Structure 1
Amino acid sequence: MASVLSATGLALVSVLASGVAAEANDIGDCILSGEVGSIKLQPVNEGVLTVETALPNPGWWNGDTPEQITTGFEYCLAANVAHRAGLKEIRLVIASFPAMIANVNPGKDMAMATISITAERQKVMQFTAPYFNSDIGILVKKGTAVDAAAMKTFRVGVLQGSTGAKYVADEVKPAELREYPENPAILAALMAGQIDAAVNDTAILLGLASKSNGALEVVGQYSTGETYGSILPKDSPNKEAIDQAIEDMRKDGTLDKMASTYLSDIWGADPTKVPYLKP
């Protein structure tokens, strides 16, 4: 299964169903539920669900390359949407987070990368129904003392274009704010001592901390009431159907089951136990 680079510089990879069970599609190693054909989609590429994301994002997309990914909360959410639409294949489109937020790629059905739904973003792009709640966390080297006062003296790294970047600039107001295009660049800066803390969604940071061999820890978070949703292309005909699939997964327990299966073990921590700070 080869990776293909498109003219826009986005990596395209088709993730084909490994087989077809008697009554369901098998996509990756996902937990699938619901009735095949219960929703109707008009995919941009016939017969497949094309999904844009940014890597790495452990727990949400388990693998560092598209070829490695067979599980993860958002991957399997997409798999369930495809399954319920009677599609047997997911095509992954890899982009940077800023490019995803710019929503410049019309060749997708959905874009998911733990993207927060905000009123500002809703003015210029269309989101699905929310599928996850998340606040904003603080990641530091293990042993770093952190409180509200210390954060104002810190050099803080954030993801360019993220809600965390805006929140830190407007509310926390640290001594220095540095923006990075990708999470690996933030981690490299933190490990090199170029920043004192990284701020991003608590759910994302717990996943990154769990893969640091104990070098990093999430020591606090800010309450923002954020929810994640999928960005849809402009004038997508699929919003109602995808929203229905998400709401059905909420009602039948699929979202909760995916969270406990794909997120809890990777995080190695309960996000509700991370203490809250005031900015």
Structure 2
Amino acid sequence: MRRRPAHILAPALAVLAALSLSACGENSPGGSSSAAVTSAKGGAYGDCEVTGTKGSVKLKTVESGTLTVAGDLPSRGWWNGNTVADIKSGFEYCLAANIAHRAGLEKLRIRNVSFDAMVAGKGSGYDLAMAEISITEERKKAVDFTSPYFASNIGVLAKPGKVTAENIRGLRLGVKQATSGAKFVQETLKPAKAAQVFPGDAEMLAALQGGRIDAVLTDTAIVLGQAKGSGGAVAVVGQYETGESYGALLPKDSANTAVVNGVLADLTSEGALDALSEEYLGEALGGDPAAVPVWSL
């Protein structure tokens, strides 16, 4: 799997069809633990392989010697584990590990923070957040974003054979609170019935599988993993092109934003982001986003 360069990132994972994929599911609740700390051992954090020169950049962190990263945890492929304490790998986890390494920080602390609090700029006590967060002009009013490191359209997850581009506006739709998918449904798709809003992916998927809603709309890169984990019960039947990209979120006017942008640029040019995508997202997504039919409004 290869991504395009960061400034024109697209999740075109064309080699996935050739991979032997194991089943994986939706984002799971964070369990009883809301934070976990990993200390660098032998130059690595958890199961991540880090690259570049240790201490080549400097970050101002909330805790000395530690990079504290918030996420909506766990999230298969991005933050792998059944609980927060289990997380030792994944695209965003290992991206955070690489940032910590290049900043010369010996510890990586991850915190489970609600998605809506992160994007509203209401969270505190962490240096940056990564939770498959789409960069939007509205969110930029409250927080800073780095340059993009991944892109995703809005995918439609449904039981096979029930939802089409022609009938979707008349169905019962589900969205995740404070996401770009929720905004897309409300302002652009404009269904006949207001979409049901859920606090997290797990609750939204349960409602779909239980028949309380007909379709879920959120990032294609997320719903592909949910479809794979369902064992065929649900599928990604379509997607809408929105040109969205994921970026790391930082407090408004953070002095660290430019530094992290520099790290992302280096990781991109060195092929490190490509390697993370290939290692962690192929199995998690369980399909090629480029192969999902694009629906017109």
**TM-score, with length taken from structure 2:** 0.86
SS of residue paired to 1:78: helix
Q: Which has the higher strand share?
A: 1
- 1:15 deviates by 2.1
* Separation in 2, partners of 1:205, 1:13: 26
Map 1:48-127 to 2 at 5 A.
Answer: 48-127=66-145
Give the corresponding residue for 2:175: 158
Q: Which 5+ residue runs of structure 2 have no aligned equivalent?
A: 1-29
- 1:12 deviates by 2.5
RMSD after superposition: 1.7
Give the corresponding residue for 2:235: 217
Map 1:108-257 to 2 at 5 A.
Answer: 108-141=126-159, 143-176=160-193, 177-257=195-275
* Separation in 2, partners of 1:216, 1:89: 39
Aligned pairs, how many? 267
Superposed structure 1 runs of 4+ greater than 3 Å apart: none
Contact 2:70/2:128, CA 8 A, preserved across alignment: yes
Asked which structure has the greater RCO (Cα within 8 Å, sep 6+), the reply is 2
- 1:175 deviates by 2.9
* Separation in 1, partners of 2:218, 2:279: 22
Q: Which 5+ residue runs of structure 1 have no aligned equivalent?
A: none
- 1:56 deviates by 3.4
Contact 1:106/1:234, CA 8 A, preserved across alignment: no
* Separation in 1, partners of 2:161, 2:176: 21
* Separation in 1, partners of 2:252, 2:56: 24
- 1:47 deviates by 0.5
Give the corresponding residue for 1:13: 36
**TM-score, with length taken from structure 1:** 0.91
* Separation in 2, partners of 1:40, 1:263: 29
SS of residue paired to 1:134: strand
* Separation in 2, partners of 1:148, 1:230: 32
| Identity value in percent | 47
SS of residue paired to 2:153: strand
One-letter code of the match for 1:14?
A: V
